[in-house]
Structure 1
């Protein structure tokens, strides 16, 4: 069976939204998942109204993908309405994908789904059959998740755009924001972007250590 990453998520507080606001966040989620599908060459599905799943063939991209989705949602909010998603990342084997992602099965789907159900105050979790891997990434994930939860709309917008730039720089971000370089730098610093980048790199390093051999091929 193939080793992958499965992201299972749902929209935070969607049951409390009116129909207009729910349509707005669902539209933003659909656009974000379509962008992720293009960028990471992954399959996805939205189901049960506010739930979604993605399957990434390269598990090393899972955290970056999850953070990008959350930043997209937070960036699309306004002063009276905050958007976010809870996401459980499951790493493991899966059976051949069914016609619908949500009807597929395997270890990664189970880890992801159960992991999402276990999230309470936290909106992000990474789950694996390897307890050492899970323990080493777990505490950092809680800190990083808290930082993302605390981002303002403007900070989320800046970080989302910055991470998607072909050649990220503060000057290029300022141009995209139609703002000064000083303001772009201020927003990035307030978002703790360097720490979040280190966290993404640490996740990849752990994946390399626990799941990949010297050949770069994922271990079964």
Structure 2
């Protein structure tokens, strides 16, 4: 049976917003999540500040999860610039049952995602569980490095990395953000992209190798 990635996350700073701002954030988040999914029912918001998605492509799930971290870092919810962040747990495994939406579905990937999410600690932006002890140990070591980088990203750096992960060139990012190309390059350097990007590629290849994709 083909493995899938189940992404479970929540929004940090959500309760600091006014009801109106919370509603706007949920609407924007839901629109973003569903734009990434072929079947809209495979991405849902629940309990106000939590979300869950199913991805058939493991590499794509990893990329989108990092983009979500960037997206929340760049989201300015109100005039006092309340800081938004997110925690994300990816469970990689089989799905035994798909209900009317992701929240009514079940399987190994859901269990791994949920259990790992419940164990996430402060400072963890991204966690991954495959159910394979050796693989998960390697992933934890790599993600300690990844999370340290993401914790340091500024709003401007997150904006650029989000677009890099969209496949945009530095020239295209320069035009989209009204920045000079050297400014885009500087943000990438300060964010540690040269070191970060190979680590992400390695994690993606490890997931695909260990899980038969």
TM over 0.5: yes
Distance apart, 1:68 and its partner CA: 1.2
- Length, aligned pairs only: 210
SS at match of 2:6: strand
Spell out structure 1 runs of 4+ moving beyond 6 A: none
Partner of 1:141: 143
Residues 85-116 of structure 1 show CA distances to partners (whole Å, capped at 9, x for unaligned) of 11110011111211021121111101101111
1-structure distance, mates of 2:72, 2:199: 20
Distance apart, 1:77 and its partner CA: 2.5
Partner of 1:160: 162
2-structure distance, mates of 1:211, 1:41: 25
**Equivalent residues of 2:13, 2:82 under 8 A apart:** no
- Whether 1:127 aligns to 2:126 is no
Distance apart, 1:172 and its partner CA: 2.1
- Whether 1:29 aligns to 2:26 is no
Partner of 1:116: 117
- Whether 1:4 aligns to 2:4 is yes
Partner of 2:82: 81
Residues 63-96 of structure 1 show CA distances to partners (whole Å, capped at 9, x for unaligned) of 1111111211211227621111111100111112
2-structure distance, mates of 1:30, 1:41: 10
Distance apart, 1:196 and its partner CA: 2.3
2-structure distance, mates of 1:146, 1:31: 29
- RMSD of equivalent CA atoms: 2.0
Judging changes above 3 Å, is the alpha-carbon distance between structure 1 residues 135 and 68 closer, same or farther for their aligned structure 2 residues? Answer: same
SS at match of 1:54: strand
State the TM-score, normalized to the length of structure 1.
Answer: 0.87
Gaps (5+ residues) in structure 2? Answer: none
